[in-house]
Structure 1
């Protein structure tokens, strides 16, 4: 190595420079402290929010289409054959209740599930009155898959499957995601960035350990 004062070549285990007599212990301490400081900064990097979302109403468009079709068929048959009877009134009640049930399912899905992606974790909040929060470390994720049917592709929605080494959620699904391709790409990029960051930290620790 070189003396920091006179730049003369000295032995690695030398305590003093043979040319100028400068102490080499302080320089070695500063040099060893720099990698440790870099490792500390890498490990202490704060979480940054990258995406948040909930169940998209578009994901139930197929349900609304089926309800609309059945309602029209029921109303047509009822009007022609049951008009003015008690069965006609009962049919109307059934149709209204079916739409109310669909609306309640949508409201429940919208309120009971939320997702939040940060630069280090994926958070899954569930529950209405009582909320529980599960989290998956991005470094534990192995694979991100986006799945869409023909109608979902046209609407830009879909589901995301996350495979990880997390024991509680080895295969985690995110349903009803709007702009699903971009969201899946964001999760995958965040996963790769976090794994690179952690690997750099581990390699630096091994090299200077």
Structure 2
């Protein structure tokens, strides 16, 4: 079974992914794959340099995330161009990791994809979509505490992601992580994992 896992920043998605992995799922982390593609020697570096200029690549040969973030937040066309470079590379790497997990005998592959709802092509490749959900206020509180960011900075990230109701509308299953302790979240995740054959 291929399960797409998503949730807004601060929802607890990464914690749920870790619990599902403990249950025996093979977890494929799209963010980690994307970071590798834009790190030194990554597959996206040459095309990004060609499209945006060498000033977007830092001294180590990796994507200058600060410069690129500033550019794509202000320029929607630049964001689309960046996505057109990165998404196919990440998609191919996710597919390869999924096939490797299947070949290794995994009963369930969890694809941890932050922008799952924003990217139309994922739905047809998944058996289930699991959304980890909480209120916007809870998201902001958690991320401010965790990352020492300002509330307005967290709100800007939330505003750049799919709206909460859009994510919920795309969900086959939802874990509500509003007031759960870590132990309660683990128990709920294990119950969910049982539905995925774990």
TM class by shorter chain equals: under 0.3
For CA contacts below 8 A with separation 6 or more, give which structure has more relative contact order.
2
Q: Which has the higher helix share?
A: 2
Larger radius of gyration: 1
Give the TM-score normalised by the residue count of structure 2: 0.20
Give the TM-score normalised by the residue count of structure 1: 0.20
Q: Which has the higher strand share?
A: 1
